[in-house]
Structure 1
Amino acid sequence: MSDDPVAKVEGGIEELEIESNYKPPPEKSIEELINADKEDESLQKYKAALLGIAKETPVIVDPNDERKVLVKKLALCVEGRPDMELDLTGDLTNLKQQKFTIKEGITYCIRIDFIVQREIVHGLKYVQKTYRMGHQVDKMTHMVGSYPPKTEIQSYKTPSEDAPSGALARGSYTVHSLFTDDDKHQHLKWEWSFKIKSDWKD
């Protein structure tokens, strides 16, 4: 994170766009992937193992939710301390009231727990913009990767980074988060908050 204001907030969370010249390949369903190269038995076995799913048994964890990615939880992870978690399955408007406290200068990472259902998801990305006093102070985009559907929760951890330190860094921050993919599907977007203090108990 940076503690120098660099840009004023204008459109809030809707500004979480992905700018790239990369053109993703056409999206293919599980059925299309399995049916390709049907004459190659060894390749079929490899794909079945890789996908972890057979054509006749699609993975549907929540039949009432048409999304392919169900984002369950965000956690702030600091070595030697319990993970600080946000439940992303309920009313997202309440998340801003839950404010993480971070000791200045500590090393931390963010973990996101999610479930992929129905189809393979290509090129998942986690985009985060951080604001302080109405000004954007940081933006990061993490390439999460491509995932097959599974009934189990899958997780991604961002690389470790250091929280800002010093008197100017202390205070409250608002974060706009977006979980998206190569096809620009917005699987979930939400806002949350944290506060940097000189010590955990201050």
Structure 2
Amino acid sequence: MSSADNDDDLKPSTTPGYKPGAAKSADEYAKLDAEDESLARWKASLGIVPGATTSDAIGPKVTVLTLELDSPTLPAGKKIVFDLKDTARLADTKKNPIVIKEGVEYNVRITFKVNHSIISGVRYLQVVKRAGVRVDKLEQMLGSYGPNPTGEPYTKNFEPEESPSGMLARSGSYNVRSRVIDDDGEVYADWDWSFKLAKEW
């Protein structure tokens, strides 16, 4: 399968007729419709306050820090967290896939920072393949965020899913490609990892 096919799998869905607005800096958003009280409250919830924003727009708007798989069935103290800066561990999952218990509810959680500007239309895409055939695709919207005035990262929990079960599901491993992308097609993170299903975590 060509890399073009893989990229088609990781294109976000589109709404016919919808065109994203022109990107604005946090400063521009802070000054926009300053007299609208409800809009001012919404902007404040995103950390957009006149005079408190930065016009420094160097580097990516979004930095994805971690990907975590969480489940109420995980044993106490066990965590499945990928630090996206640890490319060696991500690469190691090809040889040593992480283990996910079959037939359990789990959810994906990502932690990210908004460095400058306002983000909207940013989504997380995840394509799962087995033996080169797509078996699942997850697409979740991050929401709208501005740079956090405290400098703390944001965490987004996605809707729970259920892992497959059965002897056939447990045979072999699954390859996953994850991507964080916006409506304009700008990719903020793109990484591969692998997992296998088992009777226990």
Q: TM-score, normalised by structure 2?
A: 0.82
1:173 and 1:113 mapped to 2: Cα distance? 23
| TM-fit CA distance, 1:80 | 4.2
The 1:54–1:103 alpha-carbon spacing in structure 2 relative to 1, beyond 3 Å, is same
Letter in 2 for 1:77: D
Q: Which runs of 5+ in 1 are unaligned?
A: 1-8
Q: Deviations over 1:136-178 (max 9, x none)?
A: 1111211121111111110111111111011111131010011
Whether the 8 Å CA contact 2:25–2:118 is kept in 1: the answer is yes
Give the equivalent residue in structure 2 for 1:73. 66
Identity value in percent: 35
2:144 and 2:188 mapped to 1: Cα distance? 14
The equivalences for 1:63-142 within 5 A come to 66-81=59-74, 82-91=78-87, 94-98=89-93, 99-142=97-140
1:44 and 1:131 mapped to 2: Cα distance? 43
1:173 and 1:10 mapped to 2: Cα distance? 18
Whether the 8 Å CA contact 1:71–1:89 is kept in 2: the answer is no
Do residues 183 (structure 1) and 175 (structure 2) align? no
The 1:54–1:97 alpha-carbon spacing in structure 2 relative to 1, beyond 3 Å, is same
2:179 and 2:53 mapped to 1: Cα distance? 26
The 3-state SS of whatever aligns with 1:49 is helix
Instruction: Give the aligned length.
Output: 188
Whether the 8 Å CA contact 2:125–2:179 is kept in 1: the answer is yes
| TM-fit CA distance, 1:55 | 4.3
1:183 and 1:17 mapped to 2: Cα distance? 11
Q: TM-score, normalised by structure 1?
A: 0.82
Q: Which runs of 5+ in 2 are unaligned?
A: none
| TM-fit CA distance, 1:123 | 1.4
The equivalences for 1:2-21 within 5 A come to 9-11=1-3, 13-15=6-8, 16-20=10-14, 21=16
Letter in 1 for 2:29: L
Runs of 4+ in 1 over 6 A off after TM superposition: none
The 3-state SS of whatever aligns with 1:112 is strand
Aligned residues: CA RMSD: 2.4
The 3-state SS of whatever aligns with 1:169 is helix
Whether the 8 Å CA contact 2:109–2:156 is kept in 1: the answer is yes
| TM-fit CA distance, 1:135 | 1.5
| TM-fit CA distance, 1:42 | 3.9
